[in-house]
Amino acid sequence: MNKGSIFAKLPSVDKVLSNYKIEGLLNNYPRQLVIESIREVIELKRQEIINLDEDNLNLFNIEEEILINDIIHSTKSKFQLSIKRVINGTGIVIHTNLGRSKLSPKVQEELIQIGFGYSNLEYNLSKGKRGSRYDHLVDIIKRLTGAEDVLIVNNNAAAVLLVLNTIAKDGEVIVSRGELVEVGGSFRISRIMELGSGKLVEVGSTNKTHIEDYKEAISEETKAIMKVHTSNYRILGFTESVGIDELKEQGEFKDIPIIEDLGSGVFVDLSKYGLSYEPTVIDSIKNGADIVTFSGDKMLGGPQAGIIVGKKEYIEKMKKNQLTRALRVDKMTIAALEATLRMYLNEDDAIKNIPTLRMITCSIDELERKSEILLDRIMSLNIDAEVGKEKGMSQVGGGSMPLEKLDTYIITIKPNKFSVSYLEKRLRNSESHIIGRINEDKYMLDIRTIEEDEFDFIIKELKHIFN
């Protein structure tokens, strides 16, 4: 047999189109997409033939059933959304690459109603006239934080940008050197401040800033003092910083607004649940911050948003800033955020029903119970691998609580007949898109970030791969 005779066995596009399975495919997918997949699969086979060694010519076979299945798989893959649901087995609760915080299932039905129907987004039902999209969130956030007013934009970087552009444009903003953080994607707080048209005035040193440093930096151009919570790193050892309460006590700063960027933003004192203390939004307001900004999709456990709370006089000016329209949020964000915030009216409900808080505060006993269930189900498959359970460490993630390590349980799988990296790739690219990690030549699934209703998908994919 020569290559020419093998090439002759490759079917034409028209012949493939006449296959009954492909005819069924055409009923559900665009014709052009199917033809594109047919041509690609045939071309891949053609390249395989070209690369064949002469010694292997007789071993090569073109099986029509496999060819058709490859075309079906290719077509379905092309038609799927690029963004897909994944199973997070990494143990990183707020995983920036995997969409940060999960929304609570409790908000799902309400989101569907808002998304697939008309809504009173900018319509005041009681007055029968035009309203503001921001009114839907004002009352509940004021109730939860004690702030005078509220404004929501599309993320926390936008919140900082809007605040500075409104309050400190063409003026100076004093900030400690130790608080000039860089967040994900190489975005630096100093650059965001510059975009806000404020001139950055650095005071103190990396590890120590004193109240006198702030006083010495004040000038006629000073428009604001900014505090930035270092939520994604810690400076340890010989350190000193100045709190908002101390700044507010100084007569020199009486007429200067103090802005605090909390970054992650917490509504619940997590030290009650055995974690390190993180300053809450309520604490910042009580300490005297005039404006506080934070994210909606980190520790809060809601959708991506930048939340601005504080003094009404400043937020009213922000609402009139032309940037606000460019940075505004849509109806889905508003609905998801309001539904999430509603759970905070009862702290127990928030801890129980908001996935981020539930995962972070989950007890080690509960994690062991879950791990035993998944381990038993994997063991019952009798797969050709070493399967076990061991203790490990999870992370909060999302640039939050950088020193916090959470005790957890991990399911480990070490295949006997193929590599761990092959198993990782197959699970990652499976229909369920299971994301785990590899350590010490073992595939690892951290039980903390896996829901029990996702166990079925893990079992299905492992059974498929090993069989």
277-324 pLDDT, tens digit each: 888 999 999 999 999 999 999 999 999 999 999 999 999 999 999 999
- pLDDT digit string, tens, across residues 243-270: 888 888 888 888 899 999 988 888 999 8
Query: Across all residues in the chain, what is the average pLDDT?
Result: 90
* Percent of all residues in the chain with a pLDDT value above 90, rounded to a whole number: 66
- pLDDT greater at residue 169 or residue 103: 103
**Given a cut of 70, is residue 190 above it in pLDDT?**
no
- Under 8 Å CB-to-CB from 52, ≥6 apart: which residues? 3, 6, 60
Confidence label for 184 from pLDDT (cuts 50, 70 and 90): low
Q: Which fold has domain 87-96+360-466?
A: Aspartate Aminotransferase, domain 1 (3.90.1150)
**Given a cut of 80, is residue 276 above it in pLDDT?**
yes
Cα→Cα distances 377→12, 68, 265, 410, 460, Å:
46, 34, 38, 14, 11
Cβ-based neighbour number of residue 33 at 10 Å:
16
Cβ-based neighbour number of residue 306 at 10 Å:
26
Residue 179 is predicted with a pLDDT of 78
- pLDDT digit string, tens, across residues 38-92: 999 999 988 888 877 776 666 666 788 888 999 998 999 899 888 999 999 999 9
**Given a cut of 90, is residue 435 above it in pLDDT?**
yes
- pLDDT greater at residue 401 or residue 318: 318
Which DSSP category does 62 fall into?
-
Domain boundaries, the chain: 3-79, 87-96+360-466, 105-353
Residue 52 is predicted with a pLDDT of 73
Residue 187 is predicted with a pLDDT of 60
CA 357 to chain centre: 14
Chain length of the chain? 467
Measured CA to CA, the distance from residue 203 to residue 194 in angstroms comes to 16
**Given a cut of 70, is residue 185 above it in pLDDT?**
no
For domain 105-353, which CATH number applies: 3.50.50.60, 1.10.150.20, 3.40.640.10, 3.40.1160.10?
Answer: 3.40.640.10
- pLDDT greater at residue 241 or residue 239: 241
Confidence label for 1 from pLDDT (cuts 50, 70 and 90): low
Residue 240 is predicted with a pLDDT of 75
Average pLDDT value for residue range 118-146: 94
Residue 182 is predicted with a pLDDT of 63
Predicted TM-score (pTM) of the model is: 0.86
In one-letter notation, the amino acid at residue 61 is N
Phi/psi for 131 (5° steps) reads -125, -170
**DSSP per-residue string spanning 188-231:** EHHHHHHHTTPEEEEES-SSB--HHHHHHH--TTEEEEEEE--T
Residue 51 is predicted with a pLDDT of 77
3-state SS class at 397: strand
Measured CA to CA, the distance from residue 266 to residue 280 in angstroms comes to 5
- Beta pairing partners, 260: 227, 292
Measured CA to CA, the distance from residue 122 to residue 259 in angstroms comes to 29
Residue 59 is predicted with a pLDDT of 62
Confidence label for 19 from pLDDT (cuts 50, 70 and 90): very high
Measured CA to CA, the distance from residue 300 to residue 159 in angstroms comes to 16
CATH topology agreement for domains 87-96+360-466 and 105-353: no
Measured CA to CA, the distance from residue 330 to residue 336 in angstroms comes to 10
